[in-house]
Homo-oligomer: A and B are copies of this chain.
Amino acid sequence: MEESFHMLLYRAFHAQRNFLRPSLEEIGLGAGQPKLITYLAEHGPCHQQELANYFEVDPATVSRMIDSLKKGGFITQVADESSRRRNRIDLTERGREAASQWKARCRQLEEILLQGFDAEGRQRFAGDLRRVYENLHNWKGRAEHGGF
């Protein structure tokens, strides 16, 4: 009765997203953007392709998010020195600030999210989530001709 892991994951993720939604508007970010500026804040400047690969989203999606972030003054996008077809994406001061604000929200989220977990439980749960991701990710390479 709707106890599939697919559904459990969906519900957990969806609750999280709904929970964070108000913070988005508060900071002035769109739905998919926080992960980009978080990545930039932690890994430094990079190209759009790197973002698309890392988050496994379409390059077109990255392109539009970059557009929007640029309009909002969170990032800069300049042609790379080494290759004119590449764009170097970097945070502005405002972007750095937004990333830090977002990080704070995520920490607050986590406090609520993990109520009732002891330290060991958190560790284990994190490991489980990583394993699930890796199981699917590794399979992906193996699966020729699309899926099953």
Partner pick for A6 among B3, B106, B131, CB 8 A cutoff: B106
Whether A19 pairs with B114 at a CB distance below 8 angstroms is: no
- Nearest B residue to A126 via CB reads B8
Q: Cβ of A38: which chain B residues have Cβ within 8 Å of it?
A: 2, 7
User: How many copies of the polypeptide does the oligomer hold?
Assistant: 2
Whether B112 pairs with A147 at a CB distance below 8 angstroms is: no
Whether A147 pairs with B22 at a CB distance below 8 angstroms is: yes
Partner pick for A139 among B112, B124, B139, CB 8 A cutoff: B112
Tell me how far the C-beta of A38 lies from the nearest C-beta in chain B, rounded to whole angstroms: 7
Q: Which 9 A-B pairs have the closest CB atoms?
A: A22-B147, A13-B13, A15-B136, A8-B129, A22-B146, A12-B132, A6-B106, A11-B133, A125-B128
